[in-house]
Amino acid sequence: MSMLKDPSKKYRPFQPLALADRTWPDKTISAPPIWLSTDLRDGNQALIEPMDSARKMRFFNGLVQAGLKEIEVGFPAASQTEFDFIRELIEGQYIPDDVCIQVLTQARNDLIERTFASVKGAKQAIIHYYNACAPSFRRIVFQQDKAGVKAIAVNAAKQIKQLAEANPETHWRFEYSPEVFSSTETDFAVEVCNAVIDVFNPTADNRLILNLPATIECATPNHYADQIEWFCRHIKRRDSVIISVHTHNDRGTGVAASELAQMAGADRVEGCLFGNGERTGNVCLVTLALNLYTQGINPGLDFSDIDAVRKLVEDCNQLPVHPRHPYVGDLVHTAFSGSHQDAIRKGFAQQKADALWEVPYLPIDPADIGRSYEAVIRVNSQSGKGGIAFLLEQEYGISLPRRAQIEFSQVVQRETDRLGLELTAAQIYALLEQEYLAADAPYRLESHSLHEENGVCCVTLRVQEANLAGKPQSWTGEGHGPLEALVAALPVKAEVMDYNEHAIGSGTNAKAAAYVELRVAGGRSLYGIGIDENLTTASFRAVFSALNRDRQGSFALKKAA
């Protein structure tokens, strides 16, 4: 097939590093990395409208509140807005003592000078500089050979070191990024970084940060992990450098790449909240942190009110977070499908407060990130009885017996199919009311009296028949208990197949809910539900509810017929 006929042929496959003795696949992540947020820089440079100072300040404060200790606050040489914001942070003393700001610059003399001017007077700051090292960038952007590109990095390091020495009031830290690291020959990246190390002469107490970006994600994350492990093995003075990773999400595996890179030796991770950033975004720091959390590792970042964090980020970025974004999306703690709802409902019922988390389908307890249980289960045409029962239990304290759940779910299913929409808990309760609690025709129970003598119960009922308006009937019956007497009083032959009751609420406001499964001769079993302050009244209402549904030829009955 010619290249024209098969456009995929115009792409070159990634050439993996040979690393047969890789060790990272057997490692697990057992501690959080050093986190750096680049929301105010890589995130900001990718916005349609970059943030103004006020938005940047709100974002900065939110990052501090979430526990970030290293924050890249901008690219000060890029614009006056960027520069002024950094000045405002420093002059307004808005930076907590335990937070270190970071600023980015290209490896260019004028930009480096402007960058230093922006952070003058800061207690501590990381000067982060970069130049691309990959073959195509050497050829296309710089038109330089390897030596020329290495010289860009080394010369900038020398200038940065000098400017730092000239401004000793700040505790300086330095970061170098061989941009497009993942597409660069790894031995060349090591060569350039070793040359940069020689200039800065870092120590174990003031380590140089070597940030190895997957500027454009170009391969599966295992190859990136190989590159990181190889780099860690070959870089000089490993104890005096911090290996940082900065992954983008072009292939959709930014999170995996950062995680495998940590297994391969990375100490630090750069990224953005909810994965904002150039093109498909930077790696999502929230996902990485909560992935650790669900492995029993405290990430050192606080997302206990994740919706508040999301709101802040959406306001500042003016970009929505996807409803299926891990941990935070509107729909990620929601189960629509019946079997999921059933398992979640059982899981919640069995989950003990002090036990390990084990609710099926929910990798995290929604309460840990400020989400409520009510949002977990929602009902549409994909739902089953479990979800419906869960909502009625949670919102209205109604625990339908199992067979009643099956019966009522058909009523709900008919409605969701008819509407093609989700039903809220209130709408489900309204259906329950309509189908069971308000089933008072043709027979409406007006009142009853009970009399017991020698173990025999006598009941007298005042019943309004729909077709005999204005003339209540009196029905009487006898039995061993009130229910048996009531059934004996009915104008049809019927049998109670199942009976359940429970309290709704507690104390003086408590009510009783009764569920009666009744089989009227010649028909099939149907449930009736009654709710009242008085338990006997509730159970009588339940019998009438079932009787009336039978007489009306209820939906469930019609469907079965």
Ligand X SMILES: CC(C)C(=O)C(=O)O
Ligand Y SMILES: CC(=O)SCCNC(=O)CCNC(=O)[C@H](O)C(C)(C)COP(=O)(O)OP(=O)(O)OC[C@H]1O[C@@H](n2cnc3c(N)ncnc32)[C@H](O)[C@@H]1OP(=O)(O)O
> From the annotation, which residues make up the binding site?
42, 246, 248, 282
Binding status of residue 215 toward ligand X by CB under 6 A: yes
Binding status of residue 45 toward ligand Y by CB under 6 A: yes
Binding status of residue 83 toward ligand Y by CB under 6 A: no
Binding status of residue 217 toward ligand Y by CB under 6 A: no
Binding status of residue 269 toward ligand Y by CB under 6 A: no
Residue pair 360/343 in contact (Cβ under 8 Å)? The answer is yes
Q: Which of 102, 105, 177, 554 binds ligand X (CB under 6 A)?
A: 177
For residues 173-212, which are near ligand Y according to CB under 6 A?
A: 179
Residue pair 549/494 in contact (Cβ under 8 Å)? The answer is no
Name 537's Cβ contacts closer than 8 Å, sequence gap at least 6: 448, 530
Is residue 351 exposed (0-12), middle (13-18) or buried (19+ Cβ within 10 Å)? middle
Q: Which does 131 bind (CB under 5 to 8 A by kind): ligand X, ligand Y, none?
A: ligand Y
* Among 213, 180, 225, residue whose Cα is nearest residue 19: 225
Binding status of residue 179 toward ligand X by CB under 6 A: yes
Distances from the Cα of 260 to the Cα of 174, 217, 255, 263, angstroms: 25, 14, 9, 5
Binding status of residue 152 toward ligand Y by CB under 6 A: yes
For residues 42-101, which are near ligand X according to CB under 6 A?
A: 42
Q: Least Å distance between CB 293 and ligand X?
A: 26
Q: Which does 247 bind (CB under 5 to 8 A by kind): ligand Y, ligand X, none?
A: none
Of 211-219, 397-405, 493-501, 550-558, the window that binds ligand X (rule: CB under 6 A) is: 211-219
Token match 């190859």: residue?
Answer: 223
Q: Which does 45 bind (CB under 5 to 8 A by kind): ligand X, ligand Y, none?
A: ligand Y
Binding status of residue 211 toward ligand X by CB under 6 A: yes
Q: Least Å distance between CB 247 and ligand X?
A: 9
- Tell me whether residue 208 or residue 425 sits nearer to ligand Y (CB atom): 208
Q: Report the Cα 489 to chain-centroid distance in Å.
A: 57
- Tell me whether residue 138 or residue 448 sits nearer to ligand Y (CB atom): 138
Nearest-5° angle of CA 393, CA 396, CA 401?
45
- Tell me whether residue 217 or residue 550 sits nearer to ligand X (CB atom): 217
Token match 């009306």: residue?
Answer: 552
Q: How far apart are CA 16 and CA 220, in angstroms?
A: 10
Binding status of residue 263 toward ligand Y by CB under 6 A: no
Torsion over CA of 211, 215, 218 and 220, rounded to 10 degrees? 40
- Tell me whether residue 107 or residue 376 sits nearer to ligand Y (CB atom): 107
Q: Which of 19, 66, 100, 107 binds ligand Y (CB under 6 A)?
A: 107
Task: Say which amino acid occupies 128.
Answer: H
Of 74-82, 313-321, 498-506, 524-532, the window that binds ligand Y (rule: CB under 6 A) is: 74-82
Q: Least Å distance between CB 149 and ligand Y?
A: 9
Name 122's Cβ contacts closer than 8 Å, sequence gap at least 6: 90, 95, 101, 170
Question: Which run of H or E residues covers position 402?
Answer: helix 402-419
Residue pair 546/517 in contact (Cβ under 8 Å)? The answer is yes
Check residue 43 and report its DSSP letter: I
Binding status of residue 246 toward ligand X by CB under 6 A: yes
Sheet with strand 473-479: strands edge to edge: 443-453, 456-465, 473-479
The SS3 assignment for 337 reads coil
Check residue 441 and report its DSSP letter: -
Binding status of residue 230 toward ligand X by CB under 6 A: no
Q: Which of 22, 108, 233, 237 binds ligand Y (CB under 6 A)?
A: 108
What is the end-to-end Cα distance of the chain in Å, rounded?
62
The site that binds ligand X (CB under 6 A) totals a number of residues, namely 10
The SS3 assignment for 406 reads helix
Binding status of residue 131 toward ligand X by CB under 6 A: no
Binding status of residue 249 toward ligand X by CB under 6 A: no
Q: Which does 106 bind (CB under 5 to 8 A by kind): ligand X, ligand Y, none?
A: ligand Y
Residue numbers at the binding site for ligand Y (CB under 6 A): 42, 45, 75, 77-78, 106-108, 111, 130-131, 141-142, 152, 179, 215, 278
Residue numbers at the binding site for ligand X (CB under 6 A): 42, 104, 130, 177, 179, 211, 213, 215, 246, 248
